[in-house]
Homo-oligomer: A and B are copies of this chain.
Amino acid sequence: MRVLGVDPGLTRCGVGVVEGVPGAPLTLVHVGVIRTDADLDQAERLLLIEQGLERILEEFSPEAVAVERVFAQHNVSTVIGTAQAAGVAMLCGARRGLPVATHTPSEAKAAITGSGRADKAQVTLMVTRLLRLSAAPKPADAADALALAICHVWRGGAQARLAAARRGTGGRR
């Protein structure tokens, strides 16, 4: 199962593609950050994020998209932009008929470190270990996106199957 994880943000949107199945070693497929200039209009920034995500979806063909869930209680000065970047990622996935899941930061941390309150260094360390990388993934910003993708490989697949069963469709398409 190949999953695109997205750590949404207007200024830096982390993206990580991971391949794996629960209980087997994971593989890093791609890691990066889509950056947009704060001087641009908000609409243009969202467009650049869409274009960046489209390129990744096109090039790496993930089978699912996992986006960090944004809460209204997040940093008030950035929450609207973060929510909109997350929305663009969800939209890009849905447009391709891919299952789109959201996971909270705590769920991602708990999935890969065992603790929902793990700090950034611990998350980066475990991402590096789980993907069997010789050094921490770069850019560092994108470690959270990889953590989300790994979290999804481990728990998202089951959620998607449950949701499909609930819809009685046995799958999205």
Interface residues, chain A, with chain B CB atoms under 8 Å away: 41-44, 46-47, 50, 65, 70-73, 76-77, 79-80, 83-88, 90-91, 93-95, 100, 102, 163
Contacts and interface: CB of A to CB of B under 8 A. Distances in A.
Contact of A84 (B42, B73, B76, B86): B86
4 smallest beta-carbon distances between A and B, as pairs: A84-B87, A43-B100, A43-B90, A43-B94
Contacts of A41: 94, 100, 163
Contact of A91 (B70, B83, B88): B88
- Count identical subunits in the complex: 2
A78 to B, nearest CB: 9
Contacts of A88: 87-88, 91
Contacts of A86: 84
Nearest to A10: B87
Given A73-B76, A85-B87, 4 more contacts: A41-B163, A47-B94, A47-B95, A80-B83
